[in-house]
């Protein structure tokens, strides 16, 4: 993907739909999710459709992403109602990418065929690992064999774009089991692979367990696992295009590319975050409170912030530097390179200048670059005039 193509996604129209229902809550998860509340699915979908219908009209959507939670956990016909609402309100471009996240245990041929028939053309499986011990430690409800059968079901149903999410660095994982996970993932010939380090998020059962003495993920081990993944995925024909994402050429996730190019995207559902009309907004996080608000004709918003002035530039660096193509040079990159932090990052080879772009060369240190970006002050504009 060329920088011009990547930056071009700033003009895309995209939408995120949050589906918060899960079978059980994984101990590391800090998303806005619920388990055992499937009884709320009909009301929730009605609320999401109402939120869509009351949103500002837009041009046809070029990328739609159903994330969660577990979209594949709910009845496909409910997801179809949401797609209908999006089509009615904004339209869906003929060649739009329409993605959903799915868990392997939910995804048989019947469900895959139904979802594909509704218009979904990309599926991202929460595979996480092929090691049974790691899957248990992560609290996942599937067996490794179900990853294979769900990918087969997706292909048979006509999905031409299949992605696998993997998690590395669980303390129960060994070097061999991570290598085996990658090799079995590659054997399934996915079009796209995401690899995420297990992180201990505040307030999760995992963070409480670690506080009580359970082993925490080791950053050095995680760095080794990441580098190994990058190497073997590269050999398998996948190119890394973002910190945690690899794909075959042409299979980069268009929804995420829109977000990273500072493109605008609608967001619907509890806890959803969006960016529209230069405003970054977030919806009410708690499911019942979100539904209650919509049912009583109140706003779904929990907060919003207008991105203007210097913040536009900081935001451009913050989201854009995640990409391998980096960002075009501008006021923000100049301010970073002029700062003490920026000079240190440049000298250490963490960031590099490449013609008219700034890139992160050591993706494992992306958070350090982000911290330096957030701390940047706007250039001082002289107010002196010539009398």
Contact residues toward ligand SF4 (CB under 6 A) are 22, 25-26, 29, 31, 33, 68-70, 103, 126
**Chain CA centroid to CA 302, Å:** 21
CB of 194 to ligand SF4, least distance (A): 13
Task: Decide: residue 370, CB within 10 A, 0-12 exposed, 13-18 middle, 19+ buried.
Answer: middle
Cβ closer to ligand SF4: 126 or 263? Answer: 126
CB of 34 to ligand SF4, least distance (A): 9
CB of 51 to ligand SF4, least distance (A): 20
How far apart CA 276 and CA 292 sit, in angstroms, is 24
Cβ closer to ligand SF4: 163 or 372? Answer: 163
Cβ closer to ligand SF4: 26 or 193? Answer: 26
CB of 20 to ligand SF4, least distance (A): 8
CB of 79 to ligand SF4, least distance (A): 16
How far apart CA 283 and CA 264 sit, in angstroms, is 16
CB of 276 to ligand SF4, least distance (A): 24
- Do 65 and 273 form a contact (C-beta atoms < 8 A)? no
How far apart CA 21 and CA 293 sit, in angstroms, is 19
Cβ closer to ligand SF4: 104 or 190? Answer: 104
Cβ closer to ligand SF4: 198 or 307? Answer: 198
Cβ closer to ligand SF4: 73 or 323? Answer: 73
CB of 322 to ligand SF4, least distance (A): 21
372 token code pair: 């330096």
Cβ closer to ligand SF4: 70 or 181? Answer: 70
Task: Decide: residue 199, CB within 10 A, 0-12 exposed, 13-18 middle, 19+ buried.
Answer: middle
Determine the 3-state secondary structure of 49 from DSSP. helix
How far apart CA 338 and CA 335 sit, in angstroms, is 5
Please provide the DSSP assignment of 260-319 as one string. Answer: HTT-EEEEESTT-EEEETTEEEEE--SHHHHHHHHHTT---EEEEEE--THHHHHHHHHH
């Amino acid at each position: 993907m060329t920088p011009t193509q990547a930056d071009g996604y700033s003009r895309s129209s995209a939408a995120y739909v949050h589906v918060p229902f899960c079978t059980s809550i994984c101990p590391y998860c800090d998303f806005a999710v619920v388990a055992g509340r499937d009884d709320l699915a009909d009301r929730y979908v009605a609320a999401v459709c109402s939120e869509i219908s009351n949103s500002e009209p837009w041009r046809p959507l070029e990328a739609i992403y159903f994330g969660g939670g577990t979209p594949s956990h709910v009845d496909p016909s409910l997801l179809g109602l949401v797609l209908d609402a999006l089509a009615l309100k904004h339209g869906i471009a003929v060649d739009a990418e329409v993605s959903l996240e799915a868990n392997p245990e939910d995804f048989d041929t019947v469900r895959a065929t139904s979802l594909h028939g509704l218009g979904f053309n990309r599926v991202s499986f929460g595979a996480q690992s092929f090691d049974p011990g790691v899957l248990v430690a992560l609290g996942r409800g599937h067996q490794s064999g179900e990853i294979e059968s769900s990918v087969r079901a997706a292909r048979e149903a006509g999905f031409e774009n299949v992605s696998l999410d993997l998690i590395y660095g669980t303390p129960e994982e060994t070097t061999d089991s991570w290598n085996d996970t990658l090799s079995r993932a590659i054997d399934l010939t996915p079009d796209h692979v995401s690899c995420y380090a297990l992180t201990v998020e505040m307030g999760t059962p995992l963070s409480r367990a670690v506080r009580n003495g359970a082993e925490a993920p080791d950053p050095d081990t995680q760095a080794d696992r990441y580098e190994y993944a990058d190497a073997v995925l590269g050999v398998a024909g996948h190119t890394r295009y973002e910190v945690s994402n690899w794909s075959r050429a042409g299979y980069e996730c268009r929804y995420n590319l829109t977000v990273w190019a500072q493109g605008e995207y609608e967001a619907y559902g509890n806890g959803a975050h969006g960016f529209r009309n230069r405003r970054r907004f977030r919806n009410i996080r708690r499911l019942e409170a979100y539904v209650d608000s919509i049912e009583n004709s109140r706003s779904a918003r929990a907060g919003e912030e207008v991105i203007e002035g210097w913040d536009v530039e900081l935001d451009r660096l913050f989201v854009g530097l995640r990409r391998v193509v980096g960002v075009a040079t501008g006021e923000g990159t100049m301010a970073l390179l002029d700062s003490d932090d920026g000079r240190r990052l440049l000298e250490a080879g963490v960031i590099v200048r490449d013609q008219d772009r700034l890139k992160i060369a050591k993706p494992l240190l992306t958070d350090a670059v982000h911290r330096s970006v957030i701390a940047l002050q706007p250039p001082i504009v002289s107010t002196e005039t010539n009398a």
